[in-house]
A and B are shown apart, each in its own frame.
Chain A
């Protein structure tokens, strides 16, 4: 019964989306004002219905209702609660339902709370949102119904891919999805503003919290995904420039650019067309990402739910939405004026510079990801990997990060270089000194890690300088957010560069009782024994590790074997110190009875993910600040309007 309710509710929601699209569309025509009032309630109702449908699917998974095809294929009665829950979206149909749920609920929220925007722009936005979600309803209802019943209930479920039975991964995909879908809201705003020719600060302020929110989720998602790859894949790698990783990085790059140009538009009324364009690009990148992940058109370490046919459906959606949006942009771009001008030496100019750099990286990542596909059309099978992406993205990333030390110090519109030279000297000095120290201490270091360490250190310090001369108590949250996020990026770069420059590796065949060392750490294999979990068994090693002769700590790397479905996974063991991380992996048993052990000492690598979290936290601070500011502004406006009506009545 639950499954039928879920499906029926989903169909109703799709019907409401059709209504929302047509009501919105006709409300924008001269004679159709009568329908304007129903668009908001429709959007809210649609959000509620889809949420019910998603809750129904969660319920089916929690109860492990094996008469439902999706549950039987992806769940198992013996699975721990949290993975039953995560199983809801750990598959194609469920994740698409999650996508549309987030999208419809966001649409509902926009309809409920958005009051700053002109009414016709908002209606156009909601109509755009309905148009985008209709494609996904069609996809879900016509080709991937999550509520399909089996003719005969299955005796037992088939379980979840062992790689996915990990707490990090249970919440990683939905995090990215929220980010992707948040960008769909930004896209709808951009479409709405284009339709009603209302690209201005009000539009940017309405769009900004959604971009910020999406960007925070994307940042957290990418950071968590990288950490997951790091500890699950068992070889200490944390970024592979893999298509699926690139698929999450591209929307992030576009969202970062959009976020900054949105700020310029909101506070300076400049960069109008550029902001709209980025809004379209950001969501396009989300769609391209989903397409790459779902179609399996490129091989990837993260490919779990791959189906070429569905890929073509998403490709068709991509063509309709992005092609349509770009066509609309082409038609309307000439009517969107550029906005306020600014001089070459101003904060706007520095933001434009970094926007261009971000788009440069985006272009490189997009091209590098798709290049093997393109050459295949000419019969050449090639690979594009880190040796291309690392140096080429650095061409854009390093000037960008240097600019991040200067830009926030500049004034809007026009500034004098002499005003900030003394302040900029501090990070410049840090970069120079660190560069010198690294070159002297480690003459054999490669050029990219060397630059990374110097620029990362400079940025981590220089990012705090915008606070100089400010009253810290009165500094707006948004400024704090910027400072923290910029610092986080520097910290992350520092961690990444240090990992790639100073990691040491030790591969060894060990008997119980043998000792080894990796970097400054002495290791001893104490014992090997079998252990069992709820749905897996494992061989577990006990290793003691001592840093420079200090108190030993114990690590338990495991090799796990899962039963339903059958699969194996190495469970690496980590020991984190303030100055680095020890990474231990238990491999196979050799013919001579010795165990293959792998150890890495990775100096300062935790900074990488700490930095990522700092970036997200900075975003959160900015979001809180912006929303509080907006709420205040709305209250003040309400008060003014109220006074006005009172005065009018008195008259």
Chain B
């Protein structure tokens, strides 16, 4: 009897995997959450997750079945009270950094975050020389890159 129960349970567990291709889209793939606040939260997260099967689209705007499944996951978890960032972390653990459009806080991304600062400093450095001598009547004073 016990063995039979286990066998049935195993079968039940296995069905979703076996039937994944023919399955209709997951319930929340094309259905919004009833609570607008939660839906907005889910939408905000979905817009920053990459659809892994498509060309450069977020899961919030893709017809791919996989994007639908991911939307379902996101909505289910948001409805269960999880925070968006926790869901993002979970997805990143599962699919890698590639899934998140928001750059993760990892050493390899630090140069990207530093870029605006570097550009601003560079601009200040170039312009400083430009205006320091402004007002004086020097016409041939050259400034690098200017």
Contacts and interface: CB of A to CB of B under 8 A. Distances in A.
A388 B103 contact: yes
Interface in A332-387: 334, 337-344, 349, 352, 356, 359-360, 363-364, 367-368, 371, 375, 378, 380-387
A383 B98 contact: yes
B10 interface: no
**Which 3 residue pairs across A and B have the least CB separation, nearest first?**
A385-B101, A235-B61, A387-B102
A343 B50 contact: no
B146 A273 contact: yes
Interface string A212-244: 000000000000000000000111110010110
Contacts of B86: none
A211 to B, nearest CB: 20
Nearest to B98: A381
A596 interface: yes
A38 to B, nearest CB: 37
Interface of B: 24, 30-32, 43, 47-48, 50, 54-58, 60-63, 96-104, 108-109, 112, 115-116, 119-120, 123, 126-127, 130-131, 133-143, 145-146
A1 to B, nearest CB: 40
28 contacts: A233-B61, A234-B61, A234-B63, A237-B58, A240-B56, A242-B56, A274-B145, A299-B56, A337-B140, A338-B143, A343-B131, A360-B119, A364-B119, A367-B115, A371-B112, A375-B109, A381-B96, A381-B97, A382-B97, A382-B98, A384-B112, A388-B101, A388-B103, A388-B112, A396-B119, A507-B31, A509-B30, A596-B30
B55 A505 contact: no
Contacts of B61: 233-237
A386 B127 contact: no
Contacts of B100: 383
Contact of B108 (A341, A359, A382, A396): A382
A301 B116 contact: no
A591 interface: yes
Contact of A368 (B96, B112, B119): B112
Given A383-B98, A591-B24, A505 B116 contact: no
Given A236-B61, A375-B108, A380-B108, A338 B146 contact: yes
Nearest to B132: A344
Contacts of A364: 115-116, 119
Contacts of B102: 385, 387-388
A300 interface: yes
Interface string A311-342: 00000000000000000000000100111111
A506 B31 CA distance: 8
Contacts of A154: none
A272 to B, nearest CB: 9
Choose among B32, B104, B119, B145 the residue with the greatest number of A CB atoms under 10 Å from its CB. B119
A630 to B, nearest CB: 27
A384 B60 contact: no
Given A233-B61, A387-B102, A341 B139 contact: yes
Contacts of A8: none
Contacts of B142: 334, 337-338
Interface of A: 233-237, 240, 242-243, 271, 273-274, 277, 298-301, 303, 334, 337-344, 349, 352, 356, 359-360, 363-364, 367-368, 371, 375, 378, 380-388, 392, 395-396, 505-509, 570, 587, 590-591, 596, 598
Contacts of A344: 131, 134
The residue among A236, A380, A506 with the most chain B CB atoms within 10 A of its own CB is A380
A360 B116 contact: yes
B57 A240 contact: yes
Contacts of B119: 359-360, 363-364, 396
Contacts of B104: 382
A236 B63 CA distance: 13
A356 B127 contact: yes
Nearest to A356: B123
Nearest to B36: A504
Contact of A301 (B32, B55, B141): B55
B43 A505 contact: yes
Nearest to A391: B116
B97 A363 contact: no
Contacts of A396: 116, 119
A386 B100 CA distance: 10
B112 A587 contact: no
Contacts of A342: 134
A337 B123 contact: no
Contacts of A277: 145
A338 B141 contact: yes
A203 to B, nearest CB: 17
Contact of B123 (A235, A242, A360, A385): A360
Contacts of A235: 57, 60-62
Contacts of A378: 108
Nearest to B31: A507
A341 B134 contact: yes
A385 B50 contact: yes
B138 A301 contact: no
Contact of A387 (B48, B54, B62, B96): B48
Contacts of A395: 116, 120
Given A234-B63, A235-B61, A384-B103, 13 more contacts: A235-B62, A273-B146, A337-B140, A338-B141, A341-B136, A341-B137, A343-B135, A360-B123, A380-B97, A385-B58, A387-B102, A392-B116, A507-B30
Contacts of B140: 337-338
A237 B62 CA distance: 10
Given A240-B57, A243-B56, A343-B135, A383 B101 contact: yes
Contacts of B139: 337, 339-341
A352 B130 contact: yes
A76 B137 CA distance: 68
B124 to A, nearest CB: 9
Contacts of B116: 360, 364, 392, 395-396
Given A233-B61, A338-B141, A360-B119, A343 B134 contact: yes
A319 to B, nearest CB: 22
A382 B127 contact: no
A341 B142 CA distance: 11
Most buried by A among B56, B98, B116: B56
Given A360-B123, A363-B115, A382-B104, A301 B56 contact: yes
A410 to B, nearest CB: 14
A398 to B, nearest CB: 13
A359 B115 CA distance: 12
Contacts of A240: 56-58
